Amino acid sequence: MSATLTIGNDLTVHRLGFGAMRITGHGIWGPPADREAAIRLLKAVVEAGVDLIDTADSYGPYVSEELIGLALAPYPAGLVVATKAGLTRSGPGKWHPDGRPQHIREACEGSLRRLRLECIDLYQFHRPDPDVPFEESVGTLAALKAEGKIRHVGLSNVTTEQLERARAIVEIVTVQNRYNLADREHEDVLEACERAGIGFIPWFPLATGDLAKPGGRLDRIAAAHGATPSQIALAWLLQRSPVMLPIPGTSSIAHFDENQQAAAIVLTAEEYAELDAAA
């Protein structure tokens, strides 16, 4: 299986990226406890060869984008920084959808400024807003693309029906939904992405639920590879689909290094099947 995936026919990235949500404070709110450590982590991510970093204006809010711009701009060639709009914050753990065209436009301008970019390679609609017609929100992304402010459009937290409605308006190159070894609610969305050649970015990719209990199948397979359950969970995701783009996030360089090692793990057909049947 290929180690890379080409997004939108022109952005080729390694299939194990980095999620920059956790370089913020507790509850994804405010600045990190150690700002310099967060900057060192971001630099280490790029030095390790990661070429897809995923963030959002709501992480902090604004903190994650600001740190990425500070640590990494001007960006090395080939690095894709993906961000999102469509959620606002009112406190730690408090998220509110806002898909109004005016808000998305203002959010895009803010992300361009914080990330120190003239064009965002991948701009994603973070979550459909039940109070705003879906086509209005997606149409705004299409307009921003036509204006040259974003290069490609992605979606997050959508159904297969919403994906098709969006594709009727603008090319969609990625979908980011919750998906992991223990939670495959959005299997149909992944399958739709496979058929269309759309990158699928699973958020919360390291969740393993009861599968990682001592003596359980995930625990046994991890021991056989000299790996952690989380590494095996990532390896399973990478083998699950050629369009899979996991973006495990962390605030620690040691944990980041551990996650990256998962790309070298190859599960046997028997191990993969055993885990696949476990959900």
Spatial contact of 251 and 37, defined as CB atoms under 8 Å apart: yes
Of 49, 181, 59, the closest CA to residue 111 belongs to 59
Q: With contact defined as beta carbons under 8 Å apart, do 31 and 253 qualify?
A: no
Are the CB atoms for 28 and 21 separated by under 8 Å?
A: yes
Catalytic site residue from 59, 75, 123, 179: 59
Distance CA 193, CA 112 (A): 28
The conformational region for residue 251 under phi > 0 = left, psi -120 to 50 = alpha, else beta, is: alpha
- Can 123 be counted among the known catalytic residues? no
Element containing residue 265 per DSSP (H, E): none
Could you give the CA distance from residue 236 to residue 225 in angstroms, rounded to a whole number? 13
List, in sequence order, the alpha helices (H) in the chain.
Answer: 35-47, 63-72, 101-115, 134-146, 160-167, 187-196, 217-225, 229-240, 253-260, 269-276
Which residues carry out catalysis? 59
